[in-house]
Amino acid sequence: MSRHSTRIATLVLAALMAIVLTACGGAAGPAVQRVDAGTAVAMLDARTVVDVRTPREFAAGHLAGAQNVDVEAADFASKVSSLDKDAPYLVYCHSGRRSAMAAAQMAAAGFTDIVDGGAMADLVGAGAPTQ
């Protein structure tokens, strides 16, 4: 399967999960909180921060202490499955689209405490440190 086909399959899967989660009573499920950038920045020290952008985007700059798990990579599900499902997480991306997708996938996989931090620029604008 080509990289393009894999990416399309990942997006289709995420869309289907979002539809199922919406039908079950919530856009991203009860495990996901969507908060404004200032609230997300205040939570950074108490959460594992996950940047779901591409490795190239991550290398160009990211929030301090963040780990990179590309939501559009074919191995996203296997990489997040190695994380503690009961730990608190904050996910972010470039614009908020991929963080919402990642949060929904994590919730569907059984993660219990996810904050969708949205766009990196908003988080940096609210005072999040970068590296």
Question: How far apart (Å, rounded) are the C-alpha atoms in residues 53 and 113?
Answer: 20
Cα dihedral 61, 62, 63, 66, rounded to 10, equals -140
- Note if 93 is an active site residue: yes
- Token pair 């989660």 is at which residue? 21
Catalytic pick from 49, 93, 106, 115? 93
Q: For residue 53, which of 23, 95, 25, 82 has the smallest C-alpha distance?
A: 95
**CA 95, chain centre distance (Å):** 11
Neighbouring-strand partners of residue 50: 67, 91
Distance CA 49, CA 71 (A): 14
Q: Write out the catalytic residue numbers.
A: 93
